[in-house]
Structure 1
Amino acid sequence: MITKAKVVVSMKEFLCSNKKFLILTSLVVLLSALTALVTPFIVQNVSDTLLISNKTFLLIFISMTLSFLLQLSAQLYRENYAANFNRQYLFQLLEKMSKLSYDTYLEAEPTYLINRIYQAVDALYLFFINSLPEVLKTALLLFFSVLFSSFISWKIAITLLLLIPLNYFGYKTINKELSVRMENMQQSSAVALKDLTVTLSNVDGIKSQANEDMLYYLLEHKIEAMYVALANANKFAQTTSSILGFINQLSQQLIYLWTSLMIAKGELEITNLIVLSIVLPLFFNSLSEVNRINLDFRSLNTSNQYIQNELDDKVEKNGHLDLVGIQSIRFAKPTFMQGTKKFDFNITATLSKNDIVYLSGPSGSGKSSLLKLLLKFRPTEGIYINNLPINQLENRSLRQKIAYLSQETTILSTTLEKNIGYGNLLTPEQKHFLIQTKLLEPILKNKNWETMLVENGSNLSGGEKQRIAAARLLITSADLYIMDESTSSIDEHSATAIFETILNFKKDKIIIFTSHDKKKQQYATKIIEIGK
């Protein structure tokens, strides 16, 4: 678990790296506090209600308007800064997610991880933009409220002072229990949203269901758990905080009543009641802000604990050697662990440039698992790159030298061109090269580079998806090309055409492929059999 010390260090580093924003935030807070306090300050210095003239009203109006305009300008700038900050923080967490160990990534489930990451970004945003500035503002308003009250009566000032620790420690005790409930709520929400996303993303599956209650039966329990967890958190928060709210409201009413009696007796001025009518709402609103700030911090702390426990502490192992290029690959009876179970391959082989290797074996023999070991998806023994143990190689350095075409094709909700370029525009040379290969010819008959592709490629056939994946492979510069059943979902003629195109344009490389189509063995210069 993340310790309090770690949270503090992290927050200190965070604050130090955003000094400009903190200065701007402090300015907004000071201006906001000034806007709230200018009226009681002016009235407090007027000894007689008869002296409150049109000039006084004009002074209050001008002061508050000027302060408000400055505050508004600073807030707009602050929100623009926050948008950039949120973007950077989101990508930082997504990078942490991408560096999780392979099995942790699978077990945690990507959609669940993404939902928790969004919650973490929102939690930090709310604390950074709202709660952190409110700490200073709340402190200022509480201080000046007590100060103005002390000018009127020490009894009122003492009452307000006693309410501050009562609310602070009361809400702190409440929120300690609430943080546990919030963790349960975040977990339930992430699980429910994950299943909603996965289920509703399958458009064909949803539309083909004749049973209209299918979604209800499929998702009922998890959605119910999500809202029950939310309700439990809210019930606890509202019930316990209402007690403190009652004490605050009772105190406020008694202060008004006592002040009115003192005015009736001639011991206080009517201006004192005017000041209190402005100061007391500021004071009690600030007390309620103490609770919200505490809640936001608890939410932030919950998210920080998740990031520490599930992202930072479960990063995949990395090597220390930089890889310039792949000259050779040697299998010496590779082994790997998945959980507590050990897997081994009785394979001894050496691969070099120009080798086209067919990886043969029945379904379930571990062909895909072996190929993934070449990418260091799992720690392994018995694989050597350029005669170096693969575990000693830096992950990114190794993966930059490998082009991997898996059985699943990722289709982005963007243009055909950006899909092939994985979000980037293609260069004129890349477009010319792809047209020359004729790989995209069937797609470009009905579409163009600017055609928008929808989520999961719903406006593409299986063959078109595979051609897009193959096009990505062709424009990728690598030393090792891996094709894992990459054309299994399309017709034999199209599959052969795609396969031959890749082989023709990727000579002088190491190519490893798997295929249920035994005819493709004819292209191989070496065959490695698994499962015998």
Structure 2
Amino acid sequence: MFYKTSQKFQKVTKIQVLTLLFILIRTALNLLLVVNIQKIIDYIAEKKHTQLNETLIHITIILGFYGIVLFIAQYFLRQLFYIGKLSIIENLYQLTINKPISFFQKYSHRHLVSNITIDSNKISDWYSQGIIIFLTQVIILVTTLCLMSFYHGIITVIIFTTILTCFFIVKMITKKIARLTSDSQHLFADIHKAISESFDGIFHIKQLQKENYFTNYMSHKLTKQKYINQKIAVYFSLYVSISSFVAFVLPMISLLLSVLFILNSQMTLGAAIAMYSLTRLLHEPIRVIADKLNERDIALQTQKNLHHIYSPTPKISYQSLPELKTLNIAIQSFNYNNKSILCDVFFSLNRGDVLIIKGESGVGKTTLSHLIMNTIDTHQLNGTIMWNDILLNEAVIYNRFSSILKTTQDPFIFEGSILENISLGDIFSQEEMDTIIHIVGLEEFVKEKGLSFNLLESGQNISGGQKQRIGLARILIRKPQLLILDEPTSALDKSLSQEIAKKIIHFTKAHHITTIIITHKEEFDMFARKTVQL
């Protein structure tokens, strides 16, 4: 799993290397400053004015470079944060969008959106900047301890032993906080859901006078949330206390130990100040390394939780269906989720025929279209769907979507222009576009707004009839061999429905498109070769 995700971070590898390089340069300059400060103090004590002046010049130059390097390192680090996050989102979206339709029937759309937009942060935090920060802090810790041992080995051993103990305690605490925070987030999501559900059912709550019942129900959930928050507060207090100990108390201990060795003439004053400064530098590595190790654990666990997305989709070399000559449907029965949906459905079509399917709601009209397109589980199908001599319900090697297209009652409209919603990035001639706009009755709308008119998400700024006709245009312009229209004019008035129905049939006849129309209305009846009543 690590390898697969790392592959997707090729875009950020260069920035990671540059970030690591400049952070290491910054660290080297930081340690160099400490060494030069130690020299200044010793030169002052020894009254070596010439060396003192030279060292002050060195420090001034180092400080200038330090400011520049610090800016560059922070810039690259911030770039990593954004680019890494976007790379993971792009990767997860690409993997998800290429899954078969059955995948989207198994997992809720909200769940998948959460996986891509929220869970991706937990992965990218580690693989983009997390791993770089971890490596740099380890290097800072090791180099700082090495420099400390140069000044005084015994003090370094004492400080290192204390820090090692603090590190394991901090790591344990951060893991506890991470687990409790996760529990808190899940519980908060439940609270959000409960509030939403109660508002959705506000009429029933009011008429049954159950406000107190739901208030108590919500109070019970909030009490759980308060208990978790209290535990987080305890662990966080311990975390801050240990961090403060490492940041403030430990340097003081280092200084006191140094004073003892100064009194015994085993250290200079400059070395004591250097030890104090270096001990202060150890605070960040101890805290950050522990945090990043937990961040890594969370990233790996999140990847396991996203196994349904990361698991490879079987690669099939699909073939296009041959030219349709006859379509034969012979279904004795079809059950879905152990419920009988279709029974005794028999009909056949020749190329260019028009068939109308009618029936009450819930009798399986749309289900029949799903069976033809293989967008529903066919294991409980007792019957055959024949495309010429091909058993379509078992022929997995054929790409149905290259030959069979269907309009839906609720067309997919995304935020983009009318042209983008129809073409979806494919290239069509102006003549083809004008013809389709005419067929679906959008001429006046396009004349007024233009094909570049921007549609809002779900077509919020257009009418239901306009949405339906844009959906029709998207399918018709692609001239499939088999066209399935599911309630194609349900959102249109009678006059416009009759006009568009006539144009659609004329278009399908001209291009020899076999057409199946699912409808409650009558505008297509006069054009159909046969009608099937379910």
Q: Deviations for 1:43-64, whole angstroms, at most 9, x for unmatched residues?
A: 4566824257343233233234
Structure 1 Cα separation of the partners of residues 475 and 102 of structure 2: 25
* Corresponding residue number in structure 2 for 1:489: 491
SS at 1:331's partner residue?
strand
Equivalences, count: 507
Residues 437 and 364 (structure 1), Cα distance of their counterparts in 2 relative to 1, 3 Å cut: closer
Alignment of 1:23-62 (within 5 A): 23-43=17-37, 48-50=42-44, 53-62=52-61
Query: What is the one-letter code of the residue matched to 1:413?
Result: E
Distance, in Å, in 2 between the alignment partners of 1:367 and 1:436 is 29
What residue is the counterpart of 2:207 in the other structure? Answer: none
2:61 alignment partner AA: I
Pick from 358, 361, 377: which aligns with 1:360? 358
Aligned amino acid, residue 170 of structure 1: I
Alpha-carbon shift at residue 111 of structure 1 (Å): 2.6
> Once the 2 structures are TM-superposed, how far is the Cα of residue 20 of structure 1 from its aligned partner?
3.6
Tell me the equivalent position of 1:437.
Answer: 439
Distance 1:336 1:435 in 2: 38
Q: Which moved more, 1:382-391 or 1:503-512?
A: 382-391
Q: Which among 405, 409, 416 is matched to residue 414 of structure 1?
A: 416
**Aligned mates of 2:333, 2:228 — CA distance in 1:** 46
Aligned to 1:205: none
Single out whichever of 365-374 and 174-183 deviates more from structure 2.
174-183
CA distance change for structure 1 residues 168 and 258 in 2, over 3 Å: closer, same or farther?
closer
User: For 1:80 and 1:377, how far apart are their aligned partners in 2?
Assistant: 42
1:358-378 alpha-carbon deviations (Å, 9 max, x no partner): 122211112112212333322
Structure 1 Cα separation of the partners of residues 342 and 231 of structure 2:
49
Q: Is the 8 A contact 1:355 1:511 kept in 2?
A: yes
Could you say which residue in structure 2 is the equivalent of 1:122?
A: 121
SS at match of 1:347: strand
Compute the TM-score of the two structures, normalised by the length of structure 2: 0.79
The residue identity in structure 1 corresponding to 2:407 is L
Rounded Cα–Cα distance in structure 2 between residues aligned with 1:101 and 1:340 = 23
Cα distance, 1:287 vs. partner? 0.5
> Do the aligned residues in 2 keep the contact of 1:131 with 1:293 (CA within 8 Å)?
yes
- The alpha carbon displacement at 1:513 in A equals 1.8
Instruction: Map Cα deviations across residues 480-519 of structure 1 (whole Å, 9 max, x no partner).
Output: 2222123222322223333333332233112222111144
Counterpart of 1:459 in 2: which secondary structure?
coil
Aligned to 1:482, the other structure's residue is in SS state strand
Q: Paired residue for 1:392?
A: 395
CA shift digits 1:134-190 (9 cap, x unpaired): 121111111112112212322321133224543444344445555544554565677
Alignment RMSD (CA, Å): 4.1
Larger mean CA deviation between 26-35 and 458-467 belongs to 26-35
Letter in 2 for 1:408: D
Q: Deviations over 1:386-429 (max 9, x none)?
A: 4134343257x322333221111232233333233336786534
Give a deviation string over 1:64-101, Cα, whole Å, max 9, x none.
43355356446646755765554443233123333556
Deviations 1:273-329 (A, max 9, x none): 332343222211111101321232233224212211x434696x8865422445254
SS at match of 2:141: helix
Task: String of CA shifts for 1:323-359, please: whole Å, max 9, x gaps.
Answer: 2445254433276665565755432333342122212
Contact 1:123/1:296 (8 A) holds in 2: yes
TM-score (norm 1): 0.80
Q: Give unmatched runs, 5+ long, in structure 2.
A: 201-210
CA distance in 1, matches of 2:180, 2:61: 47
The Cα offsets for residues 432-469 of structure 1, whole Å up to 9 and x where unpaired, read as 33455362123135422232322332221111111211
Question: Matched residue of 1:351: which SS?
Answer: strand
Of 313, 331, 335, which residue of structure 1 is paired with 2:329?
331
User: Rg bigger for which structure?
Assistant: 2
Partner-residue secondary structure (3-state), 1:40: helix
Could you say what secondary structure the match of 1:368 adopts? helix
Query: Structure 1 residues 334 and 483 mapped into 2: Cα distance closer, same or farther (>3 Å)?
Result: farther
Q: Which residue of 2 aligns with 1:517?
A: 521
For the 8 Å contact 1:178–1:236, the answer to whether it is kept is: no
Kindly provide the amino acid, as one letter, of the partner of residue 299 in structure 1: I
The answer to whether the Cα contact below 8 Å between 1:100 and 1:314 also exists between their aligned partners in 2 is no
Could you tell which deviates more after superposition, 52-61 or 351-360?
52-61
| CA contact 1:102–1:377 (8 Å) conserved in 2 | yes
Alignment of 1:101-120 (within 5 A): 102=101, 105-106=104-105, 108-120=107-119
Match of 1:461 in 2: 463
1:30 is displaced (CA, Å) by 1.9
Structure 1, 145-154 or 28-37: larger mean CA deviation? 28-37
> What is the alpha-carbon distance in structure 1 between the residues aligned to residue 187 and residue 429 of structure 2?
45
Q: Separation in 1 of the partners of 2:147 and 2:402?
A: 66
Q: How far apart are the structure 1 equivalents of 2:231 and 2:432?
A: 55
Helix, strand or coil: the match of 1:311?
helix
SS at match of 1:358: strand
What amino acid maps onto 1:132 in structure 2? I
- Counterpart of 1:351 in structure 2 is 349
User: Residues 335 and 145 of structure 1: is their aligned pair in 2 closer, same or farther, counting only changes over 3 Å?
Assistant: farther
Q: Alpha-carbon deviations, 1:236-256, whole Å to 9, x = none?
A: 651453464365354343223
CA distance in 2, matches of 1:161, 1:455: 58
Code of the aligned partner of 1:372: H
- Where do 5+ consecutive residues of structure 1 fail to align? 1-6, 203-212
Q: Verify the 8 A CA contact 1:481 1:510 in the aligned structure 2.
A: yes
Distance 1:236 1:113 in 2: 34
